[in-house]
Chains A and B, each alone.
Chain A
């Protein structure tokens, strides 16, 4: 047996050694420094959502939404647009949104 063959055979167990994670990745992630920019960004988004929610309630936003829906339904007859077209469009957009959401969840799981 040549020296190289002997060395290859000797180190084969180490080459094939499985290194289980055993929480290693989680420990690494816990040690990572917190990103202040990301936290500030999330805080700003949360603040904006809160202000939008408060204004929606204070200014009776739901009345505008209901008016819009009623006007849209009245327009079906006025513009001679078939209700089916609205349903198909909503269905296609819904399927696209669902597909995108499922794709994100799959990537997160991976």
Chain B
């Protein structure tokens, strides 16, 4: 496990010495939580998830000198990931308005059809994304960061740049919607 001091050391090597080897270590260490975050937001669209994850790490590399070490490297990285996701959503909305498309979640359809002919594990995975699709984007972000990645409310607020009160509201509403959906579909047994 790469500790906080090692993160700062590696980030410094990247910023000062432009060490690609140091950045490679950071990428390998933190690619799982970043990609898991995007899998949750894109509802299982692996290709889009990888594109957004790569954008996140490229942005992190180009702005590495802005990492001050006041928070953990992962928190800083997830803030970039959230901004990448926010920009992607905004661009998608503009594109849909321009094309007047009614297809809100194309990834959901592909995941749903993939889930029908796969193993129990992928079926459950498809159910997770179907459940997450019930939520608004901010609710989905807060819920996945808390329930999947285990971040506290303060950490989530810092990552997504919202007040803790707003994060708590999104979490409350998101969890209520999920609970209703899960009980309706028999997950409480």
- Asked if B32 lies at the interface with its beta carbon under 8 angstroms from chain A, I say yes
Rounded to whole Å, the gap between the CB of B82 and the closest CB of chain A is: 18
Asked if B5 is an interface residue, CB under 8 A from chain A, the answer is no
**CB under 8 Å from chain A, chain B span 145-189:** 147-150, 175-176, 178-179, 182-183, 187-188
Measured CB to CB, the closest approach of chain A to B151, in angstroms, equals: 12
Contacts of B148 in A (CB 8 A): 11, 14-15
Please tell me if the beta carbons of A17 and B36 are within 8 angstroms of each other in the complex. yes
Instruction: Give the residues in chain B near A18, CB-CB below 8 Å.
Output: 32
CB-based contact B31/A19 at 8 Å: yes
> Counting CB contacts under 8 A, is A25 at the interface?
yes
CB closest chain-B residue, reference A35? B18
In the complex, B27 has a CB within 8 A of chain A: yes
Which partner residue on chain B sits nearest A5 by CB separation? Answer: B188
State which of B58, B144, B188 has its C-beta within 8 Å of the C-beta of A31: B58
Report the stretch among B49-57, B87-95, B102-110 that lies at the interface. B49-57
Chain B 2-28 near chain A by CB (<8 Å), digits 1 or 0: 000000000000000010110111011
B62 interface residue (CB < 8 Å to A): yes
Report A-chain residues with C-beta under 8 Å of the C-beta of B24: 25, 29
User: Looking at A4, A17, A18, which has the most chain B CB atoms within 10 Å of its CB?
Assistant: A17
Complex interface: chain A residues within 8 A of B32 (CB): 18-19
Given A21-B31, A25-B31, A28-B57; A14-B179 close (CB under 8 Å): no
**Cβ–Cβ contact A13 & B128, under 8 A:** yes
Q: Are A31 and B21 in contact (CB under 8 A)?
A: no
**B20 proximity list for chain A (CB < 8 A):** 29, 32
Q: Which residues between 40 and 68 of chain B lie within 8 Å of chain A, taking CB atoms?
A: 40, 50, 53-54, 57-58, 61-62
- Interface check B124, CB cutoff 8 A: yes
B54 CB, nearest partner CB in chain A, Å: 5
Binding site for B on A (CB under 8 A): 1, 3-4, 6-11, 13-15, 17-19, 21, 24-25, 27-29, 31-33, 35, 37-38, 108, 110
